[in-house]
């Protein structure tokens, strides 16, 4: 993982977490990651996108692996375009208004952290939330 740049980790995380989602769903997953980094909380992995993505038990796709296999190169190229734009974007461009959590209710029971969040939107298979202030 050390050999991967921050942008590569960002791209691979969104690919692994949301490659089957719409562009909007991929954007929202990417903004969750970027918002967590901007909030600089140690329990999320600190102030960097790479730190947030690789922090233990934050993103299922990194649990127990050193890299993410790209089995669908064309899909990955499309995800990269989405992620690259968000990587360069200003916080004021955030359509999620600071959303910092999501989960897939079809794959897991309701997580305990939901009680500390406000529902924001459901997009595809993911439900998005924002931490209560």
* pLDDT single digits (tens) 31-57: 999 999 999 999 999 999 999 999 999
Q: Which domain holds residue 18?
A: 6-95
- State the CATH number of the domain containing residue 48: 1.10.10
Banded model confidence at residue 124, pLDDT cuts 50, 70, 90: very high
Among left, alpha and beta (phi > 0; psi -120 to 50; other), residue 85 is: alpha
* Structural domains in the chain (count): 1
b/e sequence 109-128, b meaning 16+ C-beta within 10 Å: eeeeeeeebeebbebeebbb
* CA distances for 56 relative to 27, 48, 106, angstroms: 22, 14, 22
Q: Is there a contact between 1 and 66 (Cβ–Cβ < 8 Å)?
A: yes
Q: What is the mean pLDDT of residues 75-96?
A: 97
* Average pLDDT in the chain: 95
Closest CA to 113 of 94, 91, 132: 132
- 1 belongs to a structural domain: no
Residue 106 included in any domain: no
Q: Does the pLDDT at position 85 exceed 80?
A: yes
CA distance 52 to 48: 6
pLDDT band at 1 (very low <50, low <70, confident <90, very high): low
Judge whether 29 lies within some domain: yes
- For residue 130, is it within any domain? no
The answer to whether the CB of 58 falls within 8 A of the CB of 44 is yes
Which residue is it, tokens 């959303």? 99
pLDDT at 108: 85
């Amino acid at each position: 993982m050390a050999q991967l740049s921050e942008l590569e980790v960002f791209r691979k995380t969104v690919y692994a977490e949301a490659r089957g989602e719409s562009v909007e769903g991929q954007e929202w997953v990417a903004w969750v990651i970027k918002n967590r980094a901007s909030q600089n909380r140690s329990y999320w992995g600190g102030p960097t996108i790479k730190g947030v993505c690789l922090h233990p038990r934050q993103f299922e796709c990194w649990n127990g692996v050193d890299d993410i296999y790209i089995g669908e190169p064309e899909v990955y190229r499309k995800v990269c375009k989405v992620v690259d734009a968000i990587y360069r974007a200003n916080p004021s461009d955030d359509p999620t208004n600071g959303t910092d959590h999501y989960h897939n209710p079809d794959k897991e029971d309701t997580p305990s952290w939901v009680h500390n969040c406000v529902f924001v939107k459901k997009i595809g298979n993911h439900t998005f939330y924002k931490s209560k202030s």
